């Protein structure tokens, strides 16, 4: 593997949502990520388990060892791997890994330099710490969800981007890399408590800053970045497709008026909030007069701050994305390429996700276990490999 994290070893206790996304980010940047998988149930697991596990993209770039987490021998195998690792990430509710014998104290006893990253929705402390939840709940508590969507409808869920990924997995990945940098100076690991409620709140820093200055209100669709302003929003075209306009700065706004041949003097009052509803209706009517492609021909690449609203099936084919290699399709599976990009230590696309337990034998051998030891662990149900054998 190439990338700036080459030489870093990460233990990932398999889960769903932000933990695997953090693991993907670390693997994309060159880290060796060893995922500790549960031994599959004979029936193949629940439908939800199959839905949430993305075998080719979010779980790419891992090695996989499958162990019985209820068997002390399986836990011992994990701890033996921890001894050689730099980072461990887990996404269980508070206290679960302690009950398994894989809590921070257990791991630091074996490896004092280990960075132990914990990913939860509510955090390790607080009155909600042990409650169940999902992305939508966590961003609701941060103030982020309330700000999204039209004012005459309930807040619009922003997929699972703000909690799970932006405020969760990204926060965890940054946190463990920062702690690893410190550990290489101090020689001591530490606990990283990454909570999606915290992360979603951090993502709202600019909005809280604007509110403190009196430039942002709590009412949904009443602020310049939430769809209220005519110069910042999405508009339907004649063909039923959409374009995005983001002409905030005055020089960009002037170019919008010039290129669209808008001469109505009311449009000169860009920041008069009382004019926004009427101006938005007028701009919407204008943009419905041409197809999306026609508006692209006129506005794309200019300083209007314009882009077509592309479907997921369209985005990989856009000339800009193609030129940059933003998407790749190994084995015919379209997926985002690793990001960000590094000039001296570029990342490479990691291989697809492994079959559960694919690397069990190799990893156990690397710990010094003989084939007889591995067979005994397999027969006892402590470990698992492809075909049911480690």
Burial class (CB in 10 A: 0-12, 13-18, 19+), 21: buried
234 φ, ψ to 5°? -110, 140
The sign of the dihedral angle between the CA atoms of 119, 124, 127, 130 is positive
Of 28, 59, 164, 359, which one is the catalytic site residue? 164
Q: How far apart are CA 144 and CA 289, in angstroms?
A: 34
- Local structure of 374: helix, strand or coil: helix
Distance between CA atoms of 157 and 162, rounded to whole angstroms? 9
DSSP class of residue 24 equals: H
Quote the CA–CA distance of 60 and 55 in Å, as a whole number: 7
- Look up 264 and say whether it is catalytic: no
Please tell me the number of Cα atoms within 13 Å of 336 on its side-chain side: 11
The two structure tokens encoding residue 355: 């079959």
Which among 105, 134, 215, 379 is annotated as catalytic?
Answer: 134
Q: Which residues contact 299 (CB under 8 A, 6 or more apart)?
A: 243, 256, 259, 260, 306
Neighbouring C-beta atoms of residue 169, cutoff 10 Å: 28
What is the spatial distance between Cα 28 and Cα 221, in angstroms, rounded to a whole number? 37
Q: How far apart are CA 262 and CA 284, in angstroms?
A: 12
134 part of the active site = yes
Strand 62-67 versus strand 383-384 pairing type: antiparallel
The residues that are catalytic are 134, 164
């Amino acid at each position: 593997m190439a990338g700036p994290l080459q030489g870093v070893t990460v233990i990932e206790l398999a889960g769903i949502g932000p933990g695997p996304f953090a693991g993907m980010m670390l693997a994309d940047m060159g880290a060796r990520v060893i995922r500790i998988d549960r031994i599959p149930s004979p029936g193949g697991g629940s439908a939800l388990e199959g839905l949430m596990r993305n075998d080719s993209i979010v779980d790419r770039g891992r090695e996989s060892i499958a162990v019985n987490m209820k068997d002390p021998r399986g836990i011992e195998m994990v701890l033996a791997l921890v001894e050689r690792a730099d980072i461990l990430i887990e996404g269980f509710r508070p206290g679960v890994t302690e009950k398994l014998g894989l809590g921070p104290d257990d791991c630091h006893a074996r490896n004092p330099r280990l960075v132990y990253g914990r990913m939860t929705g509510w955090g390790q402390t607080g009155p909600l710490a042990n409650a169940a939840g999902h992305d939508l709940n966590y961003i609701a508590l941060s103030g982020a969800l309330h700000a999204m969507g039209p004012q005459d409808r309930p807040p619009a869920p922003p997929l699972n981007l703000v909690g799970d990924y932006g405020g969760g997995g990204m926060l965890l990945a940054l946190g463990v890399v920062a702690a690893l940098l410190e550990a290489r100076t101090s020689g001591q690991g530490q606990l990283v408590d990454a909570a999606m409620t915290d992360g979603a709140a951090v993502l709202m820093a600019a909005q809280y800053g604007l509110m403190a200055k009196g430039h942002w209100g709590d009412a949904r669709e009443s602020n310049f970045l939430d769809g209220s302003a005519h110069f910042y929003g999405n508009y339907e075209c004649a063909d039923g497709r959409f374009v995005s306009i983001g002409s905030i700065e005055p020089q960009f706004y002037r170019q919008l008026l010039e290129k669209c041949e808008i001469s109505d003097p009311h449009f000169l009052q860009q920041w008069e909030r009382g004019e926004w509803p009427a101006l938005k209706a007028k701009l919407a009517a204008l943009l419905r007069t041409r197809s999306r492609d026609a508006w692209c021909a006129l506005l794309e690449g200019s300083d209007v701050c314009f882009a077509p609203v592309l479907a997921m099936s369209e985005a990989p084919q856009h000339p800009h994305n193609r030129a940059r290699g933003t998407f790749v399709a190994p084995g015919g599976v379209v997926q985002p390429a690793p990001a960000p990009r590094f000039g001296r230590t570029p990342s490479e696309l990691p291989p697809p996700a492994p079959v559960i337990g694919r690397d069990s034998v190799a990893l156990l051998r690397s710990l010094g276990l003989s084939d007889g030891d591995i067979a005994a662990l397999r027969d006892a149900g402590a470990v698992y490999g492809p075909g049911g054998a480690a």
